[in-house]
Amino acid sequence: MPRVLITGASGFIGRPLCAQLAQHGYTVRAALRAVQPPLLRVDETVTVGDIGAATEWDTALENVEYVVHAAARAHVLRTTRAMAQQFFEVNVRGTEGLAQAAARAGVRRFLYLSSIKVNGEATTVRPFRFDDTPHPQDDYARSKQQAEAALTAAAEGTRMQVAIIRPPLVYGPGVRANFLRLMRWVDRGRVLPFGAISNARSLVSVWSLNDLLLTLLAHPRSVAGVWLVSDGEDLATPELLRRIAHALGRDVRLAHVPTRLLRLAAALLGRGAEMSRLCGSLQVDAAPTRDALQWRPSVSLAEALERTAAWYAREQR
């Protein structure tokens, strides 16, 4: 059975990906910072410590055909200089070291989980495309773009194909940050001042994202390049709240507060970036991905929200 090395195996995306890979006949090796996390079901584990320029990857890559690099220093809304340095060390230097070691080891395909933030923070005239000129706006996004460039450079002149995946907001069991906050607001029956927002945002469930990763691993032709992904249904914030409410079996009450007042109030409270995500648009054009790979999201947005709501009711209430 082909062996795949997973970084970030114990994370929100990595844990279900390990299970899906095992179901499809892969030998799954998890690269872990320390001891194996509880309930992480993989065939093999290897301890690599903190990811950075000094990480030793040779042992982890023995007899590995595929790499899925999902580990990263995660995005935060407010960064300091120290955080920016950590983004560079983990996301850029760590990825570069792994890519170079993977190329030396003869890895066939290297899948890198990047971010749509490499394209930019918001869309206006049209959705983001895979061939857009990158326009990262913060330290996290810049680190992801630099990691993509380092990967491409490491693969030049080798047989290793590098597939870069830039997802928008990913949701599912274990989701955190804004999406979990929205679920809690709806569940608690709060009156939410977002009824006047008119925007469009792309999302992708963890199930469909991981299904795309499986497709990229097994595809018979070269998968080198940049791939955008979404559920295929873009939603305005009020509609997303209504869909979440339906999945939770709740009613949602939306007040129509002008968007400019929401932005002003959020800026005064130091939460302008969060409000920009609720009010602004961010759409991705995933049609080239669907057409080139003959791929479709494995789970509809409605079903994915139902599954996420079931997790929330079980684990968060």
Residue with tokens 């991981």: 210
Q: What is the DSSP string of 32-67?
A: ESSSPPTT---SEEEE--S-STT---TTTTTT--EE
Tell me the C-alpha distance between 312 and 305, whole Å.
Answer: 10
Provide the pLDDT for residue 34: 81
Provide the pLDDT for residue 39: 65
> Active-site residue among 112, 140, 171, 312?
140
Domains in the chain, start-ordered, CATH in brackets?
3-166 (3.40.50.720)
91-131 pLDDT, tens digit per residue, is: 999 999 999 999 999 999 999 999 999 999 999 999 999 99
> 0.85 cut: is pTM over it?
yes
Tell me the C-alpha distance between 293 and 289, whole Å.
Answer: 6
Are 114 and 166 in contact by the 8 Å Cβ rule? The answer is: yes
Run means of pLDDT, 10 residues per run, the chain, 317 residues: 94 94 96 75 91 95 98 74 83 97 98 98 96 96 97 96 98 94 94 96 98 98 97 97 96 96 92 91 98 97 97 88
Provide the pLDDT for residue 98: 98
- The strand pairing partners of 45, in sequence order, are 30
Provide the pLDDT for residue 67: 98
Tell me the C-alpha distance between 41 and 37, whole Å.
Answer: 9
Is 140 known to be catalytic? yes
Q: Write the Ramachandran bin of 280: left for phi over 0, alpha for psi from -120 to 50, otherwise beta.
A: beta
Residue in 123, 118, 92, 127 with CA at minimum distance from that of residue 233: 127
Tell me the C-alpha distance between 153 and 230, whole Å.
Answer: 27
> Parallel, antiparallel, or unpaired for β 66-69 and 109-113?
parallel
Are 91 and 85 in contact by the 8 Å Cβ rule? The answer is: no
Q: Is residue 104 exposed (0-12), middle (13-18) or buried (19+ Cβ within 10 Å)? A: middle
